[in-house]
């Protein structure tokens, strides 16, 4: 069971960042790389092997072959994804449906919505690197509205200064002072 039908690497969302992987994968294992461009092309069903998890079944997809050839395929019966990755970025228009389809799958995934949000959070990342790992970070002055549950009340980290603003109105002098 190591042919293209035994393995389906599914890329959810925009192919832009994954095109080299899709093309090379199509060369090395023709038909195993499938691009899913729409949430209507995939279905989540309860996993038969992992209670509480889901399997991702693909009814359509763009498959990649040797030489960069690709084709829009309809899969009857639907193909089960054995590895899933995609555009999980929170700011990406597709990030919502991609993260939802990839949530709690019974196969390995190349990311998640929460991981993408964490990696895109410059302040949180710098605080973790400086405070928890003791690594140097660029000097950072951050203004935060309200509280952030992921940061301690008084985050102490070398090179990172956090100023909490309860209301941005009327706090211009505090901002100027900092």
- Is 24 strand, coil or helix? helix
Identify which of 33-42, 95-104, 145-154 has the greatest average pLDDT.
33-42
Residue with tokens 């899933």: 84
CB 136 within 8 A of CB 170: no
Q: Would the pLDDT of 153 be above 70?
A: no
| pTM confidence score | 0.70
Q: Would the pLDDT of 168 be above 80?
A: no
Residue 89 DSSP one-character state: -
pLDDT score for 4: 45
Q: What is the pLDDT of residues 53-64, one digit of tens each?
A: 999 999 999 999
Residue with tokens 């919502």: 96
Q: Would the pLDDT of 38 be above 70?
A: yes
Q: 155: pLDDT confidence band, cut at 50, 70 and 90?
A: low
For residue 105 the two structure tokens come to 């799958």
CB 74 within 8 A of CB 59: yes
Candidates 111, 96, 74, 94; CA nearest to 13 is: 94
Question: What mean pLDDT do residues 151-158 have?
Answer: 73
21 CB burial (10 A radius; 0-12, 13-18, 19+) = middle
pLDDT score for 9: 95
Mean pLDDT of the residues in the chain: 85
Handedness of CA 166, 168, 172, 178 (dihedral sign): positive
Query: d(Cα 144, Cα 147) in Å, to the nearest integer?
Result: 7
pLDDT score for 35: 97
Q: 17: pLDDT confidence band, cut at 50, 70 and 90?
A: confident
Residue 95's H or E segment, with its range, is helix 95-102
Q: Would the pLDDT of 107 be above 60?
A: yes
Question: What mean pLDDT do residues 89-112 have?
Answer: 80
pLDDT score for 1: 41
Judging by DSSP bridges, how do beta strands 54-64 and 33-36 pair with one another? antiparallel
Q: Please, what's the b/e burial string for 138-159 (b: 16 or more CB within 10 A of its CB; e: otherwise)?
A: eeeebeeeeebeebeeebebeb
The residues spanned by each domain of the chain are 9-111, 121-165
Q: Would the pLDDT of 3 be above 50?
A: no
């Amino acid at each position: 069971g190591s042919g293209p039908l035994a393995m389906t690497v599914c890329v959810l969302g925009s192919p832009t960042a994954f095109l080299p992987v899709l093309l090379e994968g199509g060369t090395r294992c023709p038909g195993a790389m499938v691009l899913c461009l729409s949430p209507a092309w995939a279905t989540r069903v309860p996993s038969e092997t992992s209670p509480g998890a889901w399997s991702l079944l693909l009814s359509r997809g763009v498959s990649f072959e040797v030489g960069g050839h690709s084709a829009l395929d309809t899969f009857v019966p639907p193909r089960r994804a054995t590895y899933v990755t995609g555009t999980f970025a929170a700011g990406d228009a597709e990030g919502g449906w991609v993260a939802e389809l990839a949530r709690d799958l019974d196969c390995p995934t190349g990311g998640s919505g929460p991981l993408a949000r964490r990696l895109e959070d410059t302040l949180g990342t710098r605080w973790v690197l400086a405070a928890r790992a003791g690594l140097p970070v660029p000097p950072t002055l951050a203004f935060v509205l309200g509280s952030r549950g992921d940061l301690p009340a008084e985050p102490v980290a070398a090179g990172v200064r956090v100023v909490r603003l309860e209301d941005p109105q009327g706090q211009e002098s505090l901002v100027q002072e900092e």
